[in-house]
Amino acid sequence: HNEKRLLREFEDGAAPPSVDLVQCITCKRTFLPDIWKKHTNFCLMSKAKKKYVFDSRSQRTRGTEFSVLEPTQPKAEPPKKPSNWRKNHKDLISSVRAAKILTTAMKDGTSLPPPPPHPYVADRHIKICNNGTAPLPLDLVQEIRRFHGLTSPPSGASTCVKPGTWCSQPSFSANMG
Encode pLDDT of 8-47 as tens digits: 666 656 666 667 888 998 888 998 888 988 888 888 888 8
- Are 130 and 66 within one domain? no
Beta strands in the chain (DSSP E): 22-23, 30-31
Does 114 fall in a domain?
no
d(CA 98, CA 91): 10
pLDDT, position 167: 44
| DSSP letter assigned to residue 66 | G
Whether residue 141 is predicted with pLDDT greater than 90 in this model: the reply is: no
Residue 38 structural domain: 1-70
| DSSP letter assigned to residue 160 | B
d(CA 133, CA 158): 10
pLDDT top residue among 1 and 100: 100
Boundary residue ending a domain (38, 55, 70): 70
Does 112 fall in a domain?
no
Does 85 fall in a domain?
no
Phi-psi region of 148 (alpha: psi -120 to 50; beta: other; left: phi over 0): alpha
pLDDT in tens, 71-125: 667 778 888 888 899 999 999 999 999 899 989 998 998 888 787 777 777 777 7
Number of structural domains in the chain: 2
* Bridge partners of residue 23, in order along the sequence: 30
Please name which of 136, 163, 141, 162 lies closest in space to residue 151, comparing C-alpha atoms: 141
Does 92 fall in a domain?
no
pLDDT in tens, 44-84: 888 888 878 888 877 888 777 766 666 667 778 888 888 89
Nearest-5° angle of CA 147, CA 149, CA 154? 105
Whole-number CA gyration radius for the chain: 43
**Alpha carbon 134 to chain centroid distance?**
43
pLDDT, position 49: 81
Concatenated DSSP letters of 126-149: HHHHHH---BPPHHHHHHHHHHHT
pTM given for the model: 0.29
- Are 4 and 65 within one domain? yes
Does 139 fall in a domain?
yes
d(CA 61, CA 55): 11
Does 30 fall in a domain?
yes
Does 125 fall in a domain?
yes
Boundary residue ending a domain (55, 70, 85): 70
Does 169 fall in a domain?
yes
User: 22-23 and 30-31 as β-strands: parallel, antiparallel, unpaired?
Assistant: antiparallel
